Amino acid sequence: MLRILIRAQVQSVLASLTRSSRGKGLSLAAAGLLIVFLAAVFLFFFGFTFYALALALPGMGLGWFYFALAAAMAFALGFIGSVFMAQQQLFNARDNELLLAMPIRPRDILGARMAVLLLLDYALTLVVLLPAGAVWLAVAGGTLSGVIGFVLSALLLPLLIMCFTCLFAWLLALISSRMRRKTLITLALSIAFLAAYFYFYMNLQRLLTELIANSERIAGAFVAVYPLYAFGRAALGSWPHVAGFAACCVLPFALVCAILSRGFLAVTTRRGAGKKLVYRERALKASGAGAALLKKELARFGSNGMYILNAASGTLFTVAAVAALFIYRVEAAALLAALPEGLGAGVVTLALCFLTAMDFISAPSVSLEGRTLWLLKSLPVPTRKILMSKVNLHLAVALPPTLLASVCCAAALPFTLAEAAAIVAVPALTCVFCALLGLAVNLRYPKFDYINETAVIKNSMSVALTMFGSWALLAAAALLYAFALRGVIGMTAYLGLCAAALAAACAGLYLHICRGGVGRFAEL
């Protein structure tokens, strides 16, 4: 039974990448190319980081510290990349009650879910440890025993990551089951992890310099963390440390599996005590169908932290960009002044469009209706209003920050009136275009056979096509001007043409949704 459940979980993950509920989607080869591209980006980033360390640490006799740092980075990436997915996959999956009602042992259900998470941890660990090992061999060389010890330790490290991931996810599930504001907890922790990542990324060069300058002192602190120290020594071929690191991974993993097996049923079937509401008579406020549908969409959006964090990440970055603009206003103005005349408006507009294209709130909105889709279809409301409420949700969340950032850029930086108008208009039209495109694509490629909502938000075909398709159009527009039209037309005039093209595209998508989209929604 465990083997069958694992196969079903893997097939579900692959299906989320390659097809929709209507059987349409990207081919396995196309999805594989996308994964390879993302992996290549990570490999290049970590390869650059480890190259600087490999040049300095071996000459100081701190080769083991190099591998300990690699293990620490792999652990951090694996933990951050899988902890919230673990909470959804293990304890908040939509089919938990269905599977528990079958003659299946709870530990088999847990084992199948953990197996998929373990595969994810292996993938995340690989993109860190693979460049670390390759750079070490290229720069410092290695021995056969060291290579074997490194490979064995790399295969064991995901077990240790799984221990902390599952325990933290279990604690989150226990805490959230007793609290009403679950979304705020998830959102706050996610933003904290994201902020820590970007702080590390923006200060990478300075951190590397300080790390190399103080490596002996920092290495002394790493010795106290035995699993990292044992990993570093094992990667240099120390077999006692290979055995010690294996014990640090296998024994806690077995203990965590035993603990979760006993507590899995209690956590997944827990029903938190709801707060008793006291009725207070108030005047009833009537609203139109459009406003009521938008309120429903906002309530769904606000109740899912992963929806907010993933689908509205562009909004979060846009707000951060506005704050950064006021802090580094002088530096930004100097940078734009160094660009050729007129090009600064194009760069700012492209950056704002890229940020707003990171929002894909409407792309999973139809799929998220799931089993309650029939309720929405049974409402005595025109289908066009139902569909446009999902577009309005996207605009209500993403458009105000986009307009705020555009107006701030236009006012704070030295632009002409025509350039300022283009900086405000083009990103706003891009936001409207992305909202309409996301809904149109989701109607074409809906996905209702998901285990939890996170799978739709992060892995569905409509989300991938909307976000990467929007980025591709932005890149095409930038490349067209850079290589074909730069000497033919001015930047301000080109931005005006882009605004006109976006407005026409928005009108076309709106008509498509009101005609073909209505019929397609009725067929779902």
pLDDT digit string, tens, across residues 437-464: 999 999 988 888 776 677 788 777 888 8
Do residues 245 and 149 make contact, with C-beta atoms less than 8 angstroms apart?
no
Count the alpha carbons within 13 Å of 355 in the hemisphere toward its beta carbon.
24
More confident site: 50 or 233 = 233
DSSP annotation string for 362-387: TTTTTGGGGGGHHHHHTSSS-HHHHH
pLDDT band for position 34 (cuts 50, 70, 90)? low
- Give the model confidence (pLDDT) of 314-346 as tens digits: 888 888 888 877 777 777 777 777 777 668 888
Using CA atoms, how far apart are residues 118 and 155, in angstroms rounded to an integer?
11
Tell me the C-alpha to C-alpha distance, in Å, between residue 214 and each of 211, 225, 246, 307: 5, 18, 29, 41
Would you say residue 17 has pLDDT above 60? Answer: no
Residue-level pLDDT at 11: 65
More confident site: 27 or 440 = 440
8-state DSSP, 60: G
Output the six-digit token pair for 138. Answer: 């290229």
Count the alpha carbons within 13 Å of 175 in the hemisphere toward its beta carbon.
13
Using CA atoms, how far apart are residues 485 and 72, in angstroms rounded to an integer?
48
Q: What is the pTM of this model?
A: 0.66
Using CA atoms, how far apart are residues 373 and 367, in angstroms rounded to an integer?
9
3-17, 21-35, 71-85, 90-104: segment of lowest average pLDDT: 21-35
Is 207 exposed, middle or buried, given 0-12, 13-18 or 19+ CB atoms closer than 10 A? middle
Q: Say which residue the tokens 């792309």 belong to.
A: 363
Would you say residue 469 has pLDDT above 80? Answer: yes
Residue-level pLDDT at 428: 94
- Give the angle 35-40-41 at the CA atoms, nearest 5°: 100
Do residues 474 and 357 make contact, with C-beta atoms less than 8 angstroms apart?
yes
What is the end-to-end Cα distance of the chain in Å, rounded?
Answer: 33
pLDDT band for position 19 (cuts 50, 70, 90)? low
8-state DSSP, 275: P
- Mean pLDDT of the 355-365 span: 90
CB atoms within 10 A of CB 414: 9
- Give the model confidence (pLDDT) of 237-271 as tens digits: 889 989 999 999 999 998 988 887 776 776 666 65
Output the six-digit token pair for 105. Answer: 């042992």
Most confident range (mean pLDDT) of 91-100, 199-208, 248-257 is: 248-257
pLDDT band for position 21 (cuts 50, 70, 90)? very low
Output the six-digit token pair for 214. Answer: 């103080």
pLDDT band for position 197 (cuts 50, 70, 90)? low
